[in-house]
Chain A
Amino acid sequence: MPGAPFELLVEWAHEAEGGPFSSVGVVDRVVYECHDPLDSLAAAAEATSRIGLVTMVVIGPLRDDAELAAQAAAIHASSAGRLTLGLAVGARTEDYAAKGISPVGRGERLAEQLLELRLRWEKDGIGGPPLLVGGGSDASLLRMARYADGYVHGGGPPRAFVRAADGARTAWSELDRPGTPQLWGQGYFALGDAATVERGRDYMRDYYAFTGPFAERIAEGMLATPQAVAQFVRGYAEAGCDELVLFPAVADLHQIDRLAGALAEA
């Protein structure tokens, strides 16, 4: 988030561990001011001892397989196995342009990368972190079911998650995988006075500006009251979401307490 110091991220993880939370998550973009997700989680791993660490998501095809495998393995090891690595092709072609990588065939490249990561970790004699795949298409659900352990949903109201989760379970069953896929959801929140909420919405509009008119809808969907948080969490729980990551839309540690307060009433 623009202007948020790296130390704040680390403090955030530390504070979250003291609260009723099971995971702390990070996002990834190239053409936007934000800290590298893996650097952030590496620091968070040092500052915490219990909480799960998850990327939601790293844009896989923009990264070198060997480097990604090594970074993820290092975090997984230093955190005593607390990392979950979420990967997707990403929705923004400008991120690809910035790295000088063609977005054509990125789905195939992600599939190959998932397999490559697993095989590299295996060769090094480590299990490696669980892998999640994100993306809204049926093709991404297929990649998920073929090479990953679960699905990361891109956000939205619980009913959108229900549809995606059904697709993920169907893809899993079609490929005859034992058990069920891990299902992860996400949402944004900003709790506090009207100015805080508006600051959160401004951030959402800015972050999602690449979606054009859709940014306003996403900003409207931001959870701005304890009741909205409670309904959202309940909706996701009923839809079978295993782990729901709520991202702050304002860079302020007080948000953690407010979120914990909202959850206590949920």
Chain B
Amino acid sequence: MKVTVVGGGPAGLYFSLLLKKTQPDHDIVVYERNPEGATYGWGVVFSDRTLSSFREADYKTYTQITDSFIIWDSIDVCYRDEVLRCGGQVFSGISRKTLLGLLHARCEELGVTIEHEREVSPGEIEGDLIVAADGVRSALREGNAAAFGPRISSGSSRYIWFGTERTFDSFTFAFRANEHGFFQAHAYPFDGHMSTFIVECDLVSWHNAGLDSASEAESIAYCEALFAKELRGHALRSNRSKWIRFETLRNKRWHTDNLVLIGDAAHTAHFSIGSGTKLAMEDAIALVDALQTKASVAEALGEYQLERKPRVERFQEAARQSQTYFENTRLYQHMEPLQFAFHLLSRSGRIDYDDLRLRDRHFVAAVDRWFTARAAGTDTPAIAAPPTFTPLRLGEREIPNRVAVRARDPDGIVAAARSGAGLVFSGFVAVSEHGRITLETPKLVTPEDAVPWAGAIRSLRVVSGAATVVTLGHSGARGATRPRDRMVDVPLDEAEVWGLLAASPVGYTARSQVPYETGRRHMDDVTEDFVAATAHAAAVGFDMVELHMGHGYLLGSFISPLTNLRTDDYSGPIDARMRFPLEVLDAVRAAWPAERPLAVALNVSDWARGGTTLADAVRSAELLKQQGCDVIRVLAGQTTATYSPRFDPYYLTHYADRIHNEARIATIATGDITTVDHANTIVAGGRADICLLRA
């Protein structure tokens, strides 16, 4: 069999030597456009020191690679002139040149032909199998773009690769604020003499610093001065260094006919999780395995894609979270060092509180003690409970811990409190008869309505110190529906319905009644209803009132562009769409005791095209905060009946993080939260203050 490999990087060379080892009769040729020994880039990092799959694949190169490794076990976070170290993280680094050199030697030893300085065009390549290992800009892939379906998304920040003789003894993240903005460096050692040093910043900082028009020498001078402390006087070395944006590559298919993509030609993942070379070499192992076990090249390529694509995509998802974090680090500058470091270390969703505690219990204990001291406003205690079990002060009310649960009606309140949660939500309570969702929706309209709530709160106080929240809302376009025991959003029979109100006359589902557009008089009526219900809630003894401004209910329908099609002063930009919800908030705040906290349940995404954007949501949160809202419960979806939801465990946590840190307001995270570990990760990382467990 004739095998042609285009690209002599780690993926191409490792694939070639593994295949030649198992199939010595195959004729394998590698074409590399650069001269022998030329290499660009500095060190390669592996987030693992054992690399067991390498050991099984080829023991000789495994030994050579691991013998050349620089190994370290901690991450340093340099921030506000402090260095925070978190241990137990296993990393290894190797110089790219060394790695290529030993793979190259092993190829020659086994009889792989390598032709350097050979730029080949897609048309001239022949072979029973053609392997495109020609990198992120793969000409072979681009020549068959329709078959592979490549998609490239560019990151928003700018970064540049340098080397330095300063030898770091850990993976180091260094952060620096100056008059131009906020900058970070990712640095790691690779051969005992040199370290890789990547500088990254957001677009605004980059422009402010003049780096958009800086020469290479000017960029080096700027970065050396910026990170002088971390570099300890060492220079930055250039290697054709220039400012670039990270490009994440995904392909729909990884093979067509006898042509297959491996390594960077198939996929890229943000450098901050340090896995590009590892993924490329794992691709090579999987492809050789598939060629060994399958009868034909076509079957083998199918098997290879099946094996590798889902794994790589999981890595890419974690890398995307990490990339998003590094693109937005400026938002977290307000955090104190321990929290900043914890937040960084748990950024990708792959490493949580419990993982970090296993890696470095002293680090996590320090986070716990710092968190407890800050929450209580005291000196740092000698020992402390995990953040989830730390009380939180909201207004004048102390909430005993950071876990919230939701009841459905007065009868459910005591049972919910017995769970040990610090905060108990009432579930949706209508402010008027017509504001109910179903005929069974609890309401707070008359003094009689208040009686069961008063009883429930009295009973709760016997068994628990939990605080209580009443969620007040008006169903809007989702009113007059059947009970949700069998279906949701199905209209009541005609004899039982009432007229609905919404921002605009848009029916919730195809079968729903078309609501009336809320006129001025309606707005006044609804506001009065909210105020009256608030007075009942205060008298009953609820500790907090929450206004429901999400999920397609009346107030939420004003906020989303999907449901607000008005042409008056309550429509248009987000400030105008927030106008009526803010009028209601003002009136409720005035009627609610000043010392008791007020919450808003807010949609931060509609999960639908043309819906609320994150920027809108941040602005809404800022406006709500200005008008006296103390905490925001973060919701998504349900603005319209059809949308594309995400039900994975951290799906709403990232939104809570952005609202919390960008609008600087307390948040309640919701979604698929079921464990204390998850809650600790959210609370300790400053992503939210309270976690509402999934019912």
Contact = CB atoms under 8 A, between A and B. Distances in A.
A169 interface: yes
Contact of B637 (A149, A174, A177, A178): A174
Contacts of A149: 486
Nearest to A114: B487
A232 interface: no
Interface in B470-524: 484-490, 510-511
Given A141-B645, A166-B649, A167-B648, A174 B484 contact: no
B303 interface: yes
Interface in B160-190: none
A147 B642 contact: no
A218 to B, nearest CB: 12
B487 A147 contact: yes
B672 interface: yes
Contact of A118 (B408, B486, B642): B486
Contacts of B611: none
A173 B637 CA distance: 13
B306 A141 contact: no
Contacts of A142: 643, 645
Contact of A108 (B428, B485, B637, B642): B642
B638 interface: yes
Q: Which of A118, A139, A146, A212 has the most CB of B within 10 A?
A: A146
B488 A214 contact: no
Contact of B488 (A141, A147, A166, A213): A147
Main SS of chain A's interface residues?
helix
B428 A176 contact: yes
A118 B641 CA distance: 18
B291 to A, nearest CB: 14
A214 B694 contact: no
A178 B305 CA distance: 42
B645 A139 contact: yes
A48 interface: no
A138 B694 contact: no
B611 to A, nearest CB: 15
A78 interface: no
B646 A146 contact: no
A138 B647 contact: yes
Given A173-B695, A174-B637, A167 B647 contact: yes
B405 to A, nearest CB: 11
Contacts of A139: 644-645
Interface string B288-319: 00000000000100110110000000000000
Interface string A121-146: 00000000000000000110110011
A234 B488 CA distance: 33
Nearest to B670: A174
Contact of B302 (A167, A170, A173, A212): A212
Contact of A138 (B303, B490, B645, B671): B645
A170 B489 contact: no
Nearest to A119: B490
Contacts of B647: 138, 141, 166-167, 170-171, 174
A52 to B, nearest CB: 19
A115 interface: yes
Interface in A192-222: 212-214, 217
A175 interface: yes
Contact of B672 (A115, A118, A147, A170): A170
A24 to B, nearest CB: 25
Nearest to B489: A146
Interface string B631-666: 000000110011111111100000000000000000
Contacts of A175: 484, 488, 638
A173 B694 contact: yes
Given A138-B645, A176-B428, A213-B302, A115 B487 contact: yes
Contacts of B637: 174
Nearest to B642: A108
A213 B253 CA distance: 14
A213 B299 contact: yes
A178 B485 contact: yes
Q: Which of A141, A167, A174 has the most CB of B within 10 A?
A: A174
B644 A118 contact: no
B43 to A, nearest CB: 36
Interface in B205-228: none
Given A115-B487, A149-B486, A174 B302 contact: no
B302 to A, nearest CB: 4
Interface in A138-186: 138-139, 141-142, 145-147, 149, 166-167, 169-171, 173-179
A166 B485 contact: no
Nearest to B643: A142
A108 B643 CA distance: 11
A176 B441 CA distance: 12
Contacts of B487: 114-115, 118, 146-147
The 6 nearest A-B residue pairs measured at CB: A213-B302, A167-B647, A173-B695, A170-B672, A170-B647, A146-B488
17 contacts: A108-B642, A118-B487, A138-B647, A141-B647, A146-B489, A149-B486, A166-B672, A167-B647, A170-B672, A170-B694, A171-B647, A174-B647, A175-B484, A177-B484, A178-B484, A212-B302, A213-B299
Interface of A: 108, 112, 114-115, 118, 138-139, 141-142, 145-147, 149, 166-167, 169-171, 173-179, 212-214, 217
Given A141-B647, A174-B645, A177-B484, 20 more contacts: A112-B510, A115-B487, A115-B511, A118-B487, A138-B645, A139-B644, A142-B643, A166-B672, A166-B674, A167-B647, A169-B694, A170-B671, A170-B694, A171-B645, A171-B647, A174-B637, A175-B638, A178-B484, A213-B305, A213-B306
